[in-house]
Structures are given as C-alpha cells and as structure tokens.
Amino acid sequence: MKVLGVIPARYASSRFPGKPLIDIDGKVMIQRVYEQAMKATAIDQVVVATDDDRIAAAVQQFGGSCILTGMQHQSGTDRCAEVASKLPGFDVIINIQGDEPFIDPEQINLLVSCFDLETVQLATLIKEIHTEEELFNLNIPKVVVNKRMEAMYFSRQTIPFLRSSLQDAWLAQHQYYKHIGIYGYKASTLTELTKIPVSALEQAESLEQLRWIENGYTIQTKVTSIETIAIDTPEDLLKISKQ
C-alpha cells in the first residue's frame, strides 16, 4: 500500500490570514507540520498543497515538496484530490491539517492502519471526551459510532442526547467522542467525493464529512489518546507560547 500525505495550506483564512507562515519558535507553522508528517513511518511521500505563491516559496525555502493548486477549491478534500490527480500511483491519501504544528506522527500512522482492511473507503480519528467543557462546546464536533467503529453521524451539538438523565450526569453514563480532523481516503474514493454536490446535512452543520455519509459512504474510525493542538486564531498562538 503506497500512501501520500497531503497538507492543504491556504493564505486567506478568515480568522487568521497568513497563518501557515506564522513564526513558531523560529520556524513557520507549515514547516513544523511538514516535519512532523515526515516522521510518520506509514507515509511514503509528503507534499504541501497550496494556491498561494508565498506559501509555496516558504516550503521551497525549507526544502519541502509543494504543489500549486487551483484557487477554486472549497475544502482541503478538493485540494487533496487535485494533488492526487497530479501524483498518480498512490493507494491512500492522508489529509493532514496545516494548522497543527505539533501533530504526533503516531496519529498519522494510526489513521493509515485503518486501510489495512481492504473494504475501508474513508477513515478518520476520534478521541474520548472526559470533560463537560468539551462535551458541550459547540466548536468541537462530536461523533457517534456503530459496533464496527464506523461513524454514524457528526454534530456540533452533543450527541447522543440522554433523555432520561440530567446533563451533568451524561459523562458518567455514556462514552462520548470528539472528532479529530485528519482524514484518509482511498484514492479512487477521493476522486468520487469531488463529484458530489454539497448536501443538506453538510450545510446544516458545516461539516463536510456529512456529505459523504449522506451519500452512502462509510467512514471508519479509530480512537486516539493523543490530544491535538490546532492554531485557528491569534489567541491560540498566544496559548501555545505560554506552555
């Protein structure tokens, strides 16, 4: 199985413009993501996918691999698909978030291991929730899974709703999971996904993975115990600088 790691990176973030190029202890963020991804033993090649010349120049400067993509893409999945079309021969594509400078390579390896089962089309990671702060945070997508650890639904709301219990008892009565935003796709499946129009569920929750479920695709999950740190805003950057 040949695996390609793709790091989508765009300059025009609404909440933090230019964040792939922010300096984190002497290295731009995209470099830190790239270097962590390169440590994943399950990955054969890593490439940054961007539509911005400034990001491409930064990647070239630190010796990384980069492909310029179109500016029309609405998601990292679409950007990954363009890269996959330009680099044929890979069986699995891993979409690595460009705003997680400290991503653990073992998380990437764990995600790739989902594809040891030939029937897996799509995969992602989930993590147990143990605090009410996370459980009721609408910015943290939750996921429910079936007995085969396949995702049944994702929501920004707390799911499932425990009708017979008070909310302060929910954590004690059910194991909740949050979604970790790293995706794996079979190359053939990735090509199919780009042809599917935005779905009603995706629009409702603003979660692209609901488009796949709504159209009959199965998303395999595995549980990680590793916490991820994403840089979405300048405030997030200040938080990591204080650690």
The sign of the dihedral angle between the CA atoms of 242, 64, 84, 197 is positive
pLDDT given at position 87: 97
Per residue in 100-150, pLDDT (tens digit) is 999 999 999 999 999 999 999 999 999 999 999 999 999 999 999 999 999
pLDDT given at position 240: 64
pLDDT given at position 14: 65
C-alpha to C-alpha distances, 122 to 3, 51, 59, 132, nearest whole angstrom: 14, 25, 28, 29
Burial (Cβ within 10 Å: 0-12, 13-18, ≥19) of residue 25 = exposed
pLDDT given at position 227: 87
Planar angle of CA 104, 107, 109, nearest 5 degrees: 115
Report the number of distinct structural domains present in the chain. Answer: 1
pLDDT given at position 5: 98
Per residue in 47-103, pLDDT (tens digit) is 999 999 999 999 999 999 999 998 787 888 999 999 999 999 999 999 999 999 999
**Residue 71 belongs to domain with CATH number:** 3.90.550.10
pLDDT given at position 241: 56
User: What mean pLDDT is reported for the chain?
Assistant: 93
**pTM for this entry:** 0.94
pLDDT given at position 75: 87
pLDDT given at position 161: 97
Residue whose entry in the numeric block shows the structure tokens 């939750």: 142
The domain of 143 spans 3-241
pLDDT given at position 214: 97
Per residue in 4-56, pLDDT (tens digit) is 999 999 887 767 778 899 999 999 999 999 999 999 999 999 999 999 999 99
pLDDT given at position 17: 78
- C-alpha span between 76 and 195 (Å, rounded): 14
Per residue in 141-186, pLDDT (tens digit) is 999 999 999 999 999 999 999 999 999 999 999 999 999 999 999 9
